[in-house]
Chain A
Amino acid sequence: MQAKKESTAIYYLMILPGVGFIILFLGSSIFLTIAQSFGWFSVTGRSQFTLVNWKTLWERETLDSLVFSLKMGILSSIGTLIFAFPVALFLRKGGAGKRFLSSLIKIPLFIPALVAAFLILNLISYHGVVNEVLLALHIIKEPLRMLNDPFGWGVVAIQIWKNLPFVLLIVSASLASIRDDIIDAARNLGAGAFSILFRIYIPLAMPGILVSMILMFIKAFGDFPITSVAGPNYPPSIALRMRNTATLFQEWDKAAVMGVIIIGTTLVMTWLYSRLAQLVEGEKP
C-alpha cells in the first residue's frame, strides 16, 4: 500500500514537466485575463475591483464584433462539414487511388493559416480565377465581391479550405469505427442507400461530427489573422477587436473583458458538446 502511494506520487512528479508547463503559462494568462477584466492587476490606473469594464458589453461595436465572430464560427463549422462528410464517406470504402487521394486532401492541413488565407484570397479577388471562370460561363454578369465583403464569405471560404482535412480526419476516424456487419444487416433488411446514410452512418458518426464541429467553431470564432486579412472592414472579429483595444488603444482592461467573453464562449461550446455527446451516446442501441 505504502509503495503504491509512493509510486503514484512519483508519477505525478513525472507528468509535471509537460502538464505543469502548460498549467503555468496558460493558467497564469487566463487568470490575468479574468483578473484584469474586473480591474485587478490593472496596467493603467489602480488595482481595485470594478465592473466598469464590463460596460463594453453594451457597446454597439463590441456586440457587432461578437455577432460577426459567432456567425463566422457557425458558418465555418457547418460549411467544412458539408464539404468533408462526402469525402470521408467515400474514403471509408474507396478503391484504388484512395491513398493518393487522402494525401492530396491533407495538403491544406500543413499549409499555415496565413498562407492559406493568401492562396484563397488570390483566387476570390475581384479579377481572380473564380470570378473569371464564372464570368466566362455566363453565370454572373459582374465580378462578385468576395474579398473583404461585408458579410464575411471570404473568411468562411478560407476557413473551409484550410480546415477541410482537419474535419475529414476526425469524421473519418469515427466512420471507420462503424462495423461493416451493421451496414450489411441493414442492406439485407432492405435499407436503401438513403436510409443507410441517415439512419446508420450519420447517427453512428455523430460523436466525431460533433467534436469536429465544436473544434471548428472554436477555431473560427477566436480567429485573428484570417479575418484581419480577408474579413470586412467593419465589424472586426472579436479577437481582432480585442487585440486593437489592447495594443492600439492601450485599454487592456476592456480587452480583458473581451478575452473573458472569448474564453467563456469557448467553454460554453465545449460544455454543450459534452452534453450533446451524452445525449447521442444515450440514444445508441
Chain B
Amino acid sequence: MTGTWNASIRRKQLLYGSLTLFFVITQLIWVGVPILMTVLWSLVDPQHPWSFPDLFPQKLSWAQWAYVFKYTNIVRALKTSYSVAPLAVILSFLLSLPTSYVLGRKEIPGKKFFMLVVLLPIIMPGMVVALFLSRVFSAFHLSQSFLGLVLAHTLMGLPYMIRVLTTSFESIPQDIIDAAENLGANTFVKIKDIFLPMVRPGLLAGMIFAFTTSIEEFNLTFVIGTPTFETIPTILYSFLGYNFIRTNASVVALIMMTPNIIMLFIVERILKADYLSASLGKV
C-alpha cells in the first residue's frame, strides 16, 4: 500500500519537475531570445555589418552606443523622460492619497462608480484621448508645454496609484485604528504612525507603476509633446518609422527597458503578486 502510494507521489513529483523544466525553458527562449538579439544588434560593429548567412555578428563593439549618444537627441529625451516621470509620480501620489483613503476605508454612495471612473484612463483607447485631450490642452495653452506633459502623464499614472493605494488602505485592520483612538491618538498621530507605515509597500508599488507608465507613455506624448518635447518612446518610434535603423533602435530599446526590468525585480522582491493584479484592473 505504502509502496504504491510512494510511487504515485514520486510520479507526481517527476511530472511537476519536468513540467517546470518545460515551462522555464520555453519561457527562457520566449523572453530571452528577443532580448539577446537586441543586445547583439546594439553591439554590431558598423565596419562589419551583420547580414544574412552569419549566425553571429563578425565583430562586436560599442560604436553604435557612442553614435546614438553623440548624434541623436537621446540625451535630451532622457532628460525629458526622467524629469517628467518623477513630477508625474509626485503629483499623482498627492492627488490619490485622500481619494484612496476614502475609497479604501469609507462607505460612500456611488463607490462602485468611482472605482470604475478611476480605471477609465487605462480602459479608454489611448489615441482618442490623446488627440482630443490635445485640443482641450491647446485651448488652455498647455499643448507643447512641459506642464501639459506632466499633467498628461499624471492622468495615465493615477489609475495604478489610486488602485494600489486603495487596496493598501483596505487591508489595514480597523482594530489597530480603534486601539490607537482609544489610547488617545489624534488624526496627525494616526496618519504618521499607522496609515503611512502600513501603506508604504503599496505606496512604493504605486510609485513604481506610475513611474514606468510615464517612462513608456507614447500616445499622449506623441500628440501633445512632439515636436517640442521628445521622450525615449517617441525617439524609438522615429527610429522604427520611415528611417528604420535597426542598430540605433536596439540601443534606444535597451536604454528604455533596462531600468523597467530592474524595477520589476524590485517590485517582485518587496511585494506579493496580488498587488500586481489589484493594480491591473481586476474589477
List A residues at the B interface (Cβ < 8 Å).
Answer: 8, 11-12, 14-19, 21-23, 25-26, 28-30, 32-33, 36, 43, 87, 90, 93-98, 100-115, 117-123, 127, 129, 161, 166, 169-170, 172-173, 208, 211, 215, 218, 221-222, 224-225, 228-229, 239-240, 242-243, 246-247, 252, 255-256, 259, 262-263, 266, 270
Contacts and interface: CB of A to CB of B under 8 A. Distances in A.
Given A18-B100, A123-B37, A97 B24 contact: yes
A285 B114 CA distance: 31
B132 A259 contact: yes
B236 A114 contact: yes
Contact of A114 (B30, B233, B260): B233
Interface string B125-160: 111110111011000000000000001101100110
A117 B108 CA distance: 43
A8 B106 CA distance: 9
Interface residues of B, number: 87
A240 B237 CA distance: 14
A26 B33 contact: no
Query: Which 5 A-B pairs have CB atoms at the shortest separation, nearest pair first?
Result: A222-B125, A18-B99, A112-B216, A119-B34, A14-B98
B95 interface: yes
Given A21-B154, A94-B20, A173 B274 contact: yes
B132 A15 contact: no
Given A33-B132, A95-B17, A122-B41, A101 B158 contact: no
A22 B158 CA distance: 8
B82 interface: no
A29 B220 CA distance: 12
Contacts of B100: 18
B126 A119 contact: no
A23 B162 CA distance: 14
A8 B102 CA distance: 10
Interface stretch (B174-182, B185-193, B263-271): B263-271
A195 to B, nearest CB: 19
Contacts of B264: 103, 106-107, 109-110
B128 A161 contact: no
B261 A15 contact: no
A110 B212 contact: yes
Contact of B123 (A96, A129, A266): A266
A222 B233 contact: no
Nearest to B219: A224
B23 A90 contact: yes
Contacts of A93: 16
B257 interface: yes
Main secondary structure of the interface of A (DSSP, over half): helix
Contacts of A173: 274, 277, 282
A112 B246 CA distance: 17
Given A95-B20, A96-B20, A104 B31 contact: yes
A239 B127 contact: yes
A245 B88 CA distance: 30
13 contacts: A14-B99, A18-B95, A19-B118, A30-B129, A87-B23, A104-B31, A105-B31, A122-B246, A172-B277, A173-B282, A218-B125, A266-B123, A270-B123
Given A104-B31, A122-B34, A225 B237 contact: yes
Contact of B102 (A11, A113, A266): A11
Contacts of B249: 118
Given A122-B37, A263-B128, A29 B257 contact: no
B103 interface: yes
Interface string B90-123: 0000111011111100101100001001101101
A17 B151 contact: no
B125 A263 contact: yes
Contacts of A117: 240
Interface in B252-283: 253, 256-257, 260-261, 263-265, 268, 273-274, 276-277, 280-283
B239 to A, nearest CB: 8
B23 A22 contact: no
A12 B33 CA distance: 50
B277 A170 contact: yes
A270 B126 CA distance: 16
Given A29-B133, A30-B124, A211 B31 contact: no
A262 B158 CA distance: 23
A95 B181 CA distance: 45
Interface string B1-22: 0000000000001001101110
B204 interface: no
Which interface residue of A115, A172, A239, A243 has the most chain B CB atoms within 10 A?
A: A115
Nearest to B94: A17
A110 B211 CA distance: 11
B172 interface: no
Contacts of B52: 127
Contacts of A108: 31
Contacts of A36: 132, 135
B35 interface: yes
